[in-house]
Structure 1
Amino acid sequence: MSNDVQLVTRGPIGLVTLDRQKALNALSLDMIRAIRPQLEAWARAPEVKAVLIRGAGGKAFCAGGDVRAVAQAMSKPLPEGEEPLARTYFREEYALDHRIHHYEKPFIALVDGISMGGGLGLSIHGSHRVVTERLTFSMPETAIGLFPDVGGGWFLPRFPGQVGTYMALTGARGTAADAMWVGYGTHHVEHSRLDELVQALAAVDWSTGAPREVATRVLSSFSTDAGPAPLRAQQEAIDRCFAADRMEDILSALAAEGTAWAEETRATLARMSPTSLKVTLRQLRRCRSLPYTEVAALEYRLSQSVTAHPDFREGIRAVLVDKDQRPRWNPATLAGLRDEDVEAFFAPLPFGEWSP
């Protein structure tokens, strides 16, 4: 059992509390291994009517997967007979997200504070996502030489227009209002009422309807208007500039836009890993018509090929370790990547594919 996650029942509610506060509740392998079997046990328990997941500490729901540990493990000799952490971590993280995606009972995420990367994986796949006015969410992977995994290829193309593509490539941050607009959030509840909401879910008579209907009824009684979504105000420009299937064409469209937003967006893209940008765009276009399980299998392939690329360790160094924010990407420009180089990241794995 991991000390970084609390797993308790409160009446008819199974309650998961991510409690790795110094790391903003980033999801470690030990946490994954604690949560998944408990979800299985609660799924079988007739007295448990719903599962809630939340973050401790007041700052973050979950700041993402523990990619720093994955990168550090890659720089050390692998003990004989031991599986690389990159292989183990992503396989088990994707299995947890897949379980949440298909969970039989209401799975309610209380998304308060920071939610990035793996935090979206733990929440967006559930049946209900409660967001508060303190939410900041993003998929910042292109800044660390990675790609928007944890089902990003499935949920980002389902955001309005090209907003998912824009967020994936730029790492743009969204608010609670944005979350409600794009479909990440299902209910907006004030932070100050979260404890009261948990108490209400524990006290409600779950025999009054189907479990998901009961959960929706309780959540709706607490839900308020999140207000206008800032991203929505930019949607027309986002759709114009991010509709192309080539990064070069997206940059050209931004240049033609001629606005301060477009120039700022171009500058942001210039700081990202060129490899990550091209792989991510290809991922989103390839996955937009695929069912979730096929997306997860494809993203597992990418998790292995992309983390093996030098940009991943360099991105982790620049952003999370040395924090100099000056990554030295290889190649340094989009022009250094051929189409066949990008396609190679999607090749079948020699050691076996992911399956649920």
Structure 2
Amino acid sequence: MSGKNSQQQGNVEEKDGDKVVIEQLNECLVELVLNRVEKMNALDLHVLEILVGAIKTINFQALVISGRGDRAFSAGGDIITIYQNLQKQNGKYLEDYLKARYTLEYELEKLSLIEDRNSIIIFNGMCVGGGYSLALYSNYRICTETTQINFPESQNGTAIPCIKFLASLEKQYIIRYMILTGSSLKGQELVYAGLADYIIPSNKIKMFKSSLKNLTNISKLNEHILKYTAKLKNASQIVLHENLIQKYFSGDNLLEILKKLEQGLNEWADEDRLFCKRCLTKIQRASPLAIRVNFEMILKAAELSEQQAYNLNHRVQYRLFNHKDFQEAVYVKFEQNKRNIPIKWQHKNVLEVTQQQVDTILSPLNVPQLLLK
């Protein structure tokens, strides 16, 4: 099966069926290509439904998921479309979107539990927030030296995805750094942090993808990938600054982390002062409510089952998408295109956010919970 050819990729108007290209690479491998280049392969409801349908109905031994173009694997959830539907009082779109999103994660999880099934994620370019959910249960997560992954949800007033997975990673101080500041990790930083498994140089990615067509013995997949991987020469930023990230972002108390960063502004070392100033600036530009809620979700997720984590993520996303912080952020950043001006969040800082307000966002919904089939 194949989708539309490259001459049609630049069209501004999209047809729902063109948003994902399904390619049968050989009798064993199928590739799903996110095909919204103009939207940086953002995930809208139709994309999610196509992906779910393909995973449920197509026979394969290995599934490859990639993004069209060199700029982005996926810009995450299509928050502009969500915002536009909410402005039109179309709340059903958000409900359907969230259900499709977590159904997709559930199907990918089921796929990972089948002994003779494999999935390969190729992070070509940038991967933002919810786009990473496609890689949660992948056997092989491949990035390049230019791949960047970040979780900017707090900066947009929304909820971070993949909370169970993120809470399971060993270097939690790096995860806290990412979700509080919205900062990106790049290249071999991603492997170091546990967000990717392999690095294939960007000049070999096309060759690698083409070579998969000739791979008929899936048991040799790992060996095949290793033929193309290479250790990058440049030291990663995360290694250079890990001591600072660990120093200031370790711990389970958000206010203590913020206090350490404030104190770091008075450190004698220039490196500390500059690092703390940069981090605090990013945190202060984020939604205080989202900062509090996202930090607490990560703490809770470690003790939750997969189903409980799905439900928690679902209800927090639902509430924060309906909150005025999210709608104000999208209005300022995307409708007015004023990304450098401060957003008028409901709260001035995290100290104004009460525990009761956080608990309300985290509490069970009064509408039916997400049902996964």
- 2:20 equivalent to 1:10: no
Partner of 1:92: 100
From 194, 209, 215, give the equivalent of 2:221: 215
Q: CA deviation at 1:89?
A: 0.5
Q: Partners of 1:94 and 1:292 in 2: how far apart? A: 11
Q: Partners of 2:156 and 2:325 in 1: how far apart? A: 7
Q: CA deviation at 1:323?
A: 2.3
From 66, 85, 110, give the equivalent of 1:102: 110
Partner of 1:26: 42
Instruction: Give per-residue Cα distances to partners, 1:230-269, cap 9 Å, x unaligned.
Output: 1233223222322343432221111222321011111111
Q: Partners of 1:100 and 1:226 in 2: how far apart? A: 30
Q: CA deviation at 1:130?
A: 0.8
**Seq. identity, %:** 18
Q: Is the 8 A contact 2:33 2:67 kept in 1?
A: yes
Q: Partners of 1:236 and 1:314 in 2: how far apart? A: 36
Q: CA deviation at 1:201?
A: 2.3
Q: CA deviation at 1:28?
A: 1.2
Instruction: Give per-residue Cα distances to partners, 1:201-254, cap 9 Å, x unaligned.
Output: 221241xxxx4x422111111111145331233223222322343432221111
Q: Is the 8 A contact 2:136 2:165 kept in 1?
A: no
One-letter amino acid of the structure 2 residue matched with residue 231 of structure 1: I
Partner of 2:214: 203
Partner of 1:235: 242
**3-state SS of 1:178 partner:** helix
Partner of 2:3: none
Instruction: Give per-residue Cα distances to partners, 1:260-283, cap 9 Å, x unaligned.
Output: 101111111111000000001100
From 333, 337, 352, give the equivalent of 1:323: 337
- 2:275 equivalent to 1:261: yes
One-letter amino acid of the structure 1 residue matched with residue 361 of structure 2: F
Give the stretch that moved more between structures: 287-296 or 85-94. 287-296
- 2:366 equivalent to 1:350: yes
**3-state SS of 2:362 partner:** coil
Partner of 2:51: 35
Q: Is the 8 A contact 2:25 2:212 kept in 1?
A: no
Partner of 1:183: 194
TM-score by length of 2: 0.87
Q: CA deviation at 1:124?
A: 3.4
Q: CA deviation at 1:330?
A: 0.3
Structure 2's unaligned 5+ residue stretches are: 1-15
Q: Partners of 1:327 and 1:63 in 2: how far apart? A: 21
* Cα RMSD for the two superposed structures: 1.7
- 2:318 equivalent to 1:310: no
Q: Partners of 1:26 and 1:95 in 2: how far apart? A: 17
One-letter amino acid of the structure 1 residue matched with residue 236 of structure 2: A
**3-state SS of 1:137 partner:** strand
Partner of 1:119: 131
Instruction: Give per-residue Cα distances to partners, 1:159-211, cap 9 Å, x unaligned.
Output: 514110110111001101111111111111112222222233221241xxxx4
Q: Judging changes above 3 Å, is the alpha-carbon distance between structure 1 residues 166 and 157 closer, same or farther for their aligned structure 2 residues?
A: farther
Structure 1's unaligned 5+ residue stretches are: none
Q: Is the 8 A contact 1:130 1:186 kept in 2?
A: yes
Q: Partners of 1:234 and 1:95 in 2: how far apart? A: 37
